[in-house]
Structure 1
Amino acid sequence: MNIKELKIEQVKENKDIPFKLLKMADPSREQIESYLKTGSCYIAKHQSKLIGVLVLNSVNSTTIEIKNIAIKESEQGKGFGKVLLQQAENLSKELGYKKLIIGTGNSSIGQLALYQKSGFEIDRIDKNFFLKNYKEPIFENGIQCKHMVVLEKKM
């Protein structure tokens, strides 16, 4: 897949935010709305079809965080996630950041593999993050999601 095939555009209107896609990566509408207040939401289109979403949020003057990233289920496994991560890195560089971070659950096996294959390194574990910040328990791959694994990539 060619990176140019995936068109990324920033969402300008709240009514255009694809909550269904965002909820694939984060089941809490409350959490999503919280980070959308300060973050920038981008949508990914392939052949004019909405297939992905990305939310970037500045941490400080040198670090930016991917708060949410998701690819439509029917489009997963085709390399779009890898391309969207690359686009997040490109956007971050354009905005002048030196480090890109992303957090995912201890139970998110596929995501942990994808992020590390894309050059992210495990930085730290935020113990009990999901137990403290989510009302309902989250299970993935038969594992309870309790801890956030934070990965970083220096640019």
Structure 2
Amino acid sequence: MAEVPMIRLVQGDRKRYMPLLLLADEQPEMVARYIDRGDMWVLTSKDASKDGVPAVAECLVTDEGAGVLEMKSLAVAPAHQGRGYGRALIEHVARTYAGRYRVLRVGTGDSPLTVPFYERCGFKRSHVVSHFFTDNYDHPIYEAGVQLVDMVYLVREL
């Protein structure tokens, strides 16, 4: 029988999840802009206790006004990727905030890994912020061998 992961709202110190947050946004100064805003959810599994990690995945969402809930961070520890944990967090957030928000929005690098993942989770492309990564980060960021330059925003109706 497959394990059912537990998703819970973080109360208290969010910085203990910094290793996960830095998987999604590798510059600590950028994480500092939103770590104390909104709600942070973590997903734990039995495997987490084996390696001492308090959670295997995290998602941080913020109220951006006008019925928009933004997912600022979504990350799954590398050893736990491919198990549906990222999708589980997205679905949990969508269910939890449906009726209170109009859309769930996410911004991500124009990567061959992340954009298709979000599209498979029901998101549609909204708009692009040109040169976001090259203008806002102090070093080049690469994903799947591609340098991230533009921020792609995707939305999913709630």
Deviations 1:42-72 (A, max 9, x none): 1111237321001001110411000000011
- Specify whether residues 15 and 83 from structure 1 end up closer, same or farther in structure 2 by C-alpha distance, changes over 3 A only: closer
Alpha-carbon distance in 1 for matches of 2:70, 2:59: 10
C-alpha displacement of 1:38? 1.9
Is 2:82 the counterpart of 1:83?
Answer: no
The count of residues paired between Structure 1 and Structure 2 equals: 152
**Is the 1:55–1:66 contact (alpha carbons within 8 Å) kept by the matching residues of 2?**
yes
**Is the 2:8–2:43 contact (alpha carbons within 8 Å) kept by the matching residues of 1?**
yes
Aligned to 2:7: 8
Counting aligned pairs with the same residue, the percent is 26
Deviations 1:116-151 (A, max 9, x none): 011100000110111111111101122110100000
Deviations 1:2-57 (A, max 9, x none): 7x922221211125630001101100111111111322211111237321001001
**Is the 2:14–2:36 contact (alpha carbons within 8 Å) kept by the matching residues of 1?**
no
CA RMSD of aligned residues (A): 1.9
Amino acid at match of 1:120: F
Aligned to 1:29: 28
C-alpha displacement of 1:153? 0.5
Deviating 4+ runs (over 6 angstroms)? none
TM-score (norm: length of structure 2): 0.88
Q: Which runs of 5+ in 1 are unaligned?
A: none
**Is the 2:14–2:35 contact (alpha carbons within 8 Å) kept by the matching residues of 1?**
no
Amino acid at match of 1:45: T
- Specify whether residues 122 and 66 from structure 1 end up closer, same or farther in structure 2 by C-alpha distance, changes over 3 A only: same
